[in-house]
Chain A
Amino acid sequence: MLHRPLAALVAVLLALALAACAGDDGGETTAASPAASSAAAETTSAPPAFPVTVEGDNGPVTLEEEPDAIVSLSATATETLFAIGAGDQVIAVDDQSNYPAEAPVSDLSGFQPNVEAIAGYEPDLVVAAYDPGGLVEGLETLGIPVLLQDAAPDLPGAYDQIRTLGAATGRVRQATSLAAEMETEIAELAEVASGSGATVYHELGPDFFTATSETFIGSVYTLLGLVNIADAAAAADAGGYPQLSAEYILSESPDLIVLSDTKCCDQTAATVAKRPGWGQVTAVVNGDIVEADDDIASRWGLRTVEFVEQIAVAVQHLGAG
């Protein structure tokens, strides 16, 4: 009983690795799933249509022709743009966009955007994940199309954003097939690795800020059948990111701890075990602590698959000692 799910997981991981290799050359995928190839086939026949109107979180955005001077203020969108083959159309990305390496990093900020500085790049499309200080309005006044893509609420929202970026950049086929591939891979991982009610604590920082099931990352845990201990505190923060008390975490004694503060704050399984009182926590006792990549865990792009994979492996290991 114990070995069958493990074997199935290994099979899925192998398939993923193959799919990833095949995806690298940017050509047709070698049909890791029927859904992906059929979606791709449908769209190859469709002519690349500009002008096009896509739906952003700021409403419909119309692009008269294929953009070739894109400014991305969203680290997630930057990853997606390069993955769908629109990297050549990107002229500048914000200071948080650290992936992929070839992205043209600038000192533009997505958190405190300076409309003038962005306009200085003369972009024909700006993609943003936040709209602080009238960013969208300011750029629209200047006649620059802005596509706002807030943090996706869940995985389907993330797939939608990828397809939207594809439509906006004339990369419909690549975007659709990558989104479908991601969807299939995650669905397969979810099927094999079911947490079946095990509890999880997702750590955003060593001061116990966490994410509830309302958030994108929380929806991943729900998908994998994990129970998020942060949900009891959902009322404390409308945005889904409450600060828990250490007492509560200890008393809940989560089965799985996921650290997404490994880069920002140098947290590791070892530092968690050394915290006062944490030695008793189930996840610490059983060694079920996932050291996630802060960047991947705080974005909602294609690399989410890597995160889901990491969690799926950990779920399989749960309680195994």
Chain B
Amino acid sequence: MASAGGIRKLLAPRPERAPRGVPLRWVLTACVFVLTATLLGLALGPVDLGLAAVGREVLSHFPFLGVESSFSPTQDAILWELRAPRIALGLLVGAMLASAGAAYQGVFRNPLADPYLLGAAAGAGLGATVVIAYDVGGSGGADLRPVAAFVGATLGVGIAYLLGRSVGGRQTTTLILAGVTVAAFLTAVQTYVQQSSAETVQEVYSWILGQLETSGWTDVLIVLPYVALSSIVLLWHRRLLDVLAVGDDEASSLGVPVARVRLLVVAAATLGTAAAVAFSGLIAFVGIIVPHAVRLLVGTSYRLVLPLSLAFGAGFLVLMDLVARTVVAPAQLPIGVVTAFLGAPFFAFVLRTTRTVGP
């Protein structure tokens, strides 16, 4: 309490122009959206479990309600061992990609930046392709795939960052160009490896297009700490991202350690993205459309854009995955196809409606 009072005193001289937190109506909207997406995801799927039956099953796990589940062991397994972890992974990956995208757009002041900008996707792709094509660690590389993708993504961004730094200059353009260079190189190597082992092309291809199929709750529990840590760091820096928006020199003159903030945000976003792609593959477009849709709704302040991107990204990906696993049921589509195919028109719609309403 004392320290809170101290902070308040410190901050007191500053004029409060904008509300400090996220407005209640947006908090509620985000909560309702995520909850609805989760419930829809649980209730619907290639196998019809029945809405009421799913509701009874979920309620039966709450004590003192006296609700009996009508589920068979198979239905129970479908709901809790297949659907639920898949939705949980979707929430984590969606939240991560969207908030990392928003953060990247902030530090690079580039509206086209996405979590894959600095070579994370190319690096992860190379890592996964190598273990699949050369069958590293058995099971067609399935066991080592997440580790390889994670290492590839962090290495890709690391090399891009060092290259950008060695070229010199504090221009974000240098860093972006370094990222593009590294990504092009890694993609070339990845394609070579993929083509030299034709019988695994199918597997590599379906990994690259993204999927949220889990091997149970373990995957979710591995991703969770990375996403949590990364999100905390990104949310912590949301005000500084607003300051960065005015330009590096201006931010420096305001006392913001620009280089350090940029490194920290890029590192956090990369770590989280790497953990996400390690299990989900390369899901396109989420890191761009979700933050932009949020901006069109609530304005450009990162105090709103970051937390809301996180929430809407989570719900968005769960809904997209719902489409991916039901539209051609009992078969399924790679989720990357759905995010791009439905995401693009959705974004066009948001763009148009906000234009006509706005100034």
Contacts and interface: CB of A to CB of B under 8 A. Distances in A.
A266 B325 contact: no
A279 B216 CA distance: 13
Contacts of A111: 198-199, 201
A236 interface: yes
A246 B332 CA distance: 10
B74 A253 contact: yes
A112 B216 contact: no
Interface string A96-113: 100000000000010110
Contact of A248 (B46, B198, B211): B46
Nearest to A275: B215
Contacts of A207: 203, 206, 211, 213
B63 interface: no
A245 B73 contact: no
Interface band, chain B: 35 or more
B28 interface: no
B199 A96 contact: yes
A250 B74 contact: yes
Contacts of B73: 280
A250 B139 contact: no
A148 B271 CA distance: 49
Interface in B207-221: 211, 213-217
Interface in A243-270: 243-248, 250-251, 253, 261, 264-267
B35 interface: no
Contact of B202 (A209, A235, A248): A209
A78 to B, nearest CB: 15
A276 B81 CA distance: 6
Given A206-B142, A237-B331, A244-B332, A276 B82 contact: yes
B78 A205 contact: no
A267 B138 CA distance: 10
B206 A251 contact: no
B74 A251 contact: yes
B281 to A, nearest CB: 11
B303 interface: no
A318 interface: no
Nearest to A231: B330
B47 A247 contact: yes
Interface string A75-117: 0000000000000000000001000000000000101100000
Nearest to B197: A111
A18 interface: no
B307 interface: no
Chain A CB count within 10 A is highest, among B82, B85, B211, for B82
A233 B216 contact: no
Interface string A184-198: 000000000000000
B329 A245 contact: yes
Interface in B7-61: 45-47
Given A111-B199, A247-B46, A250-B78, A276 B216 contact: yes
B330 A233 contact: yes
B77 interface: yes
Contacts of A253: 74
Interface string B78-90: 1001110100000
21 contacts: A205-B140, A206-B140, A237-B331, A244-B330, A244-B332, A245-B332, A247-B82, A248-B46, A248-B47, A250-B74, A250-B78, A251-B78, A264-B200, A265-B140, A267-B139, A276-B82, A276-B85, A276-B215, A276-B216, A277-B74, A281-B74
Interface of A: 96, 109, 111-112, 205-209, 232-233, 235-237, 242-248, 250-251, 253, 261, 264-267, 271, 275-281
Given A243-B206, A248-B330, 13 more contacts: A207-B206, A245-B45, A245-B325, A247-B46, A247-B82, A250-B47, A251-B46, A251-B74, A264-B140, A277-B74, A277-B78, A278-B77, A280-B73
